[in-house]
């Protein structure tokens, strides 16, 4: 018996936040916040900074806390922003309603869209599902995920250089050998471990995402050997398609939404859909109604019958 496909509700005025209710993803996302905020709190309270100029210490502390603020902000945007799901019930313009659909969620799959097994939806230009942000990485939130990996790698590298270099110098002088009474502080060891883990993971994910963005080829397309987007496009154009069509400080801001370029020429399935396809609470077991699909390039069946006008009574003579 075929599975029942949920239909779209009428677009409402209430805005809902996109969130995937997955236990493992929520635990990983919460662990990420605990590590980042815990490292910032330990650095603020314990102050395991090397002795030196007070101005230098204040500058290093301000820089670290700035990066520690931008990384969770980008993480929150990547987690709570819809990755570009295909609207349920949407069909290409001019296509028959009974065309090929996804066997899992029942929606029509545009080119370069893949089904997310955790989110239970088809995502446009889906790269992968990241448990650390508890969301799939697609065309809607790729910028925020890219900034999250960038700020994580930069903050961890700054902390490693700030605390690791003096620690190595002390170890070279023999301050921490078995005959010495000096031992490394627990806060210093905690910060170094968190920084090392964040730098390795952040730099690896950032390098992989930059390669995927510049080549316009997602991770799934690389693994499956699928062809990428239209050829003959430079890396700079592919980068602007993700971060924004105009070079500005908004590229590195997790609070600025990218403005994609408009598609050139008529297309049944555009290369880039509007970013606000609908922000709603997503449960893997149940898709709630209230998704907004206001797009002039995608047609969706109406769930409410058209409103009939009342006929004016005619005077009888």
pLDDT digit string, tens, across residues 94-121: 666 666 678 887 777 778 888 888 888 8
Which residues, 6+ apart, have CB-to-CB distance to 246 below 8 Å? 240, 259
DSSP, res 185: -
What residues have CB less than 8 Å from 241, skipping those under 6 apart? 216, 260, 261, 272
pLDDT of residue 15: 42
Residues facing 135 on adjacent strands? 130
Q: Are 87 and 293 in contact (CB under 8 A)?
A: yes
Q: pLDDT band for position 75 (50/70/90)?
A: very high
Q: What are phi and psi of 114, to 5 degrees?
A: -135, 155
Residue 125: its pLDDT value, please?
A: 87
- pLDDT number for residue 8: 34
pTM of the model: 0.72
pLDDT class for 283, splitting at 50, 70, 90?
A: very low
Which residues are known to be catalytic? 130
CB atoms within 10 A of CB 118: 17
- Radius of gyration over alpha carbons of the chain, in Å? 25
The lowest-confidence range among 71-80, 123-132, 305-314 is: 305-314
Q: Residue 224: its pLDDT value, please?
A: 78
Q: Locate 201 and state its tokens.
A: 């993971």
Q: What is the pLDDT of residue 93?
A: 67
pLDDT of residue 146: 94
Confidence of residue 5 (pLDDT cuts 50, 70, 90): very low
Of 146, 139, 116, 134, whose CA–CA distance to 33 is shortest?
134
Say yes or no to pLDDT of 281 above 70: no
Tell me which of 114-123, 142-151, 222-231, 275-284 is least confident.
275-284
152 has pLDDT over 90: yes
Tokens for 97?
């309603």
pLDDT 10s digits, 293-310 = 333 333 333 444 445 555
Instruction: Pick the more confident residue, 16 or 284.
Output: 16
- Express each pLDDT in 201-239 by its tens digit: 999 999 999 998 888 888 888 887 776 666 667 888 888
141 or 225, which is more confident?
141
| Dist. CA 188–CA 40, nearest whole Å | 12
Please report the pLDDT score of residue 169 as a whole number: 74
Distances (CA, A) of 79 to 1, 18, 76: 34, 8, 5
Tell me if 279 sits within 8 A of 294, measured CB to CB: no
3-class DSSP assignment, residue 149:
helix
Which of the residue ranges 48-62, 81-95, 190-204 has the most confident prediction, judged by mean pLDDT? Answer: 190-204
Reported as a pLDDT band with limits 50, 70 and 90, residue 272 is very low
What is the dihedral angle through the alpha carbons of 111, 251, 133, 191, rounded to the nearest 10 degrees?
150
268 pLDDT band, cuts 50/70/90, is very low
């Amino acid at each position: 018996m075929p599975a029942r496909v949920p239909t779209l509700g009428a677009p409402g005025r209430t805005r809902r936040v996109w969130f995937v209710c997955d236990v493992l993803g929520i635990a990983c996302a919460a662990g990420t916040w605990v590590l980042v905020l815990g490292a910032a709190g330990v650095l603020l309270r314990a102050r395991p900074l090397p002795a030196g100029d007070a101005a230098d210490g204040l500058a290093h502390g301000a820089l670290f806390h700035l990066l520690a603020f931008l990384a969770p902000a980008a993480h929150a945007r990547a987690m709570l922003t819809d990755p570009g799901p295909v609207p349920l019930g949407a069909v290409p313009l001019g296509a028959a309603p009974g065309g090929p659909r996804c066997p899992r969620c029942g929606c029509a799959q545009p080119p370069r869209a893949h089904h997310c097994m955790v989110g239970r939806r088809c995502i446009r230009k889906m790269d992968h599902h990241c448990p650390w942000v508890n969301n799939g990485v697609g065309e809607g939130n790729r910028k925020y995920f890219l900034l999250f990996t960038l700020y994580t790698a930069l903050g961890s590298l700054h902390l490693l250089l700030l605390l690791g270099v003096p620690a190595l110098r002390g170890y070279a002088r023999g301050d921490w050998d078995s005959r010495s009474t000096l031992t490394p502080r627990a806060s210093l060891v905690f910060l170094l471990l968190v920084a090392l883990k964040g730098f390795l993971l952040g730099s690896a994910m950032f390098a992989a995402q930059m390669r995927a963005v510049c080549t316009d080829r997602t991770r799934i397309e690389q693994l499956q050997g699928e062809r990428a987007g239209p050829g003959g496009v430079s890396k700079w154009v592919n980068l602007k398609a993700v971060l924004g069509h105009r070079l500005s400080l908004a590229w590195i801001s997790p609070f600025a939404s990218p403005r994609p370029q408009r598609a050139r020429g008529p297309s049944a399935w555009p290369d880039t859909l509007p970013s606000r396809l609908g922000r709603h609470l997503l449960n893997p077991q149940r898709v709630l109604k209230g998704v907004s699909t206001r797009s002039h390039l995608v047609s969706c069946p109406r769930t409410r019958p058209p409103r009939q006008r009342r006929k004016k009574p005619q005077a009888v003579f």
